[in-house]
Amino acid sequence: MNLQTKIKVDPQDQKIDYESELFMLGSCFAENIGEKFEYYKFKNEINPFGILFHPKAIETFLWMATQGEIYTETDLFYHNEQWHCFDAHSSLSDSSQDALCKRLNTALTQARKKIASSTHIFITLGTSWVYRLKSLDMVVANCHKIPQREFEKQLLSVSEIEQCLQNSINLIKSVNAKAKIICTVSPVRHIKDGVIENNRSKSHLIAAVHGVKDAIDELVYFPSYEIVMDELRDYRFYNADMIHPSETAIQYIWERFLEVWFEEKVKKTMREVEEIQKGLAHRAFNPNSKQHNMFLEKLWSKKNQLQAEYPFMDF
């Protein structure tokens, strides 16, 4: 008896290995998967401007990064004793205007280099809902707790999202024509907007991604949203907030992702990395014992062997 609807995922060309350079952009789910890559010591960059929830914010970031644009102090604003930028997440905000400006521009410079050298670029779309700042008539990446009356809430249409994605892909290709671009829709539920509104939002994202994929055959879609909605159709695969996928769900999606993008020899190295990571996290009952010292010697030997083959790995 089959009690689960299995989503078909096809193995892809241009596999990910330890020579690959990865760049993750988008919603908090991009960070969930990005953290998996970091745990297994891949060369990986995650959201230089912090979490970017919607397609327009991603497009704006890619424009600034790939076109060599910079931020000045006039692009920043002061609110709740912090300086902020409407294009970046509040995790970058600072009490110093100058420090924030430098942080943003350093992130842009580094991002341009990373995008240009990346073999795989992942774009994770979270929502079609955006907030337009009335005073400047601009869509913001983050409202930074400014009163909602200052914004107009809008739902991006399918065609608007398609244009954002097309522009984003063109911007990437302007500095890196060879990168494999992978799109996915985040399974995180934006129910603050309402359940019906969340479903409208996700449907726009899915329709738009496939509209662009139909036009650009090399664009890859990974069905993380569909895996959670169909294969993991149960609230036990969500955290207590009933919004974010649980660790079990993230691990399940990661394992489905491995089926698509990884050869067995890479998985073997990943198991070696995991063994070292678990060893480093181990708390000894008796840290001064001979047995524990032997364990540490064996662990350092494995770590040194791996780092000799992959010098970029930092444990």
DSSP state of 87: T
Under DSSP, the state recorded for 284 is P
- Determine the pLDDT at residue 119: 98
Express each pLDDT in 30-73 by its tens digit: 999 999 999 999 999 999 999 999 999 999 999 999 999 999 99
- pLDDT, averaged across the chain: 94
What is the residue extent of each domain of the chain?
21-261, 263-315
- 309, pLDDT greater than 90: yes
The reply to whether the predicted model has a pTM over 0.75 is yes
Each residue of 76-118: pLDDT tens digit? 999 999 999 999 999 999 999 999 999 999 999 999 999 999 9
pLDDT at 21 over 80: yes
Band of the pLDDT at 29, cuts 50, 70, 90? Answer: confident
* Cα four-point dihedral sign 282, 257, 206, 91: positive
Given the candidates 3.10.20.30, 3.40.190.10, 3.40.50.1110, 1.10.150.120, the CATH classification of the domain at 21-261 is 3.40.50.1110
- 251: pLDDT strictly greater than 80: yes
Consecutive H or E run containing 46: strand 43-46
Which SS3 state, helix, strand or coil, does residue 69 take? coil
The share of the chain scoring above pLDDT 70, in percent, equals 99
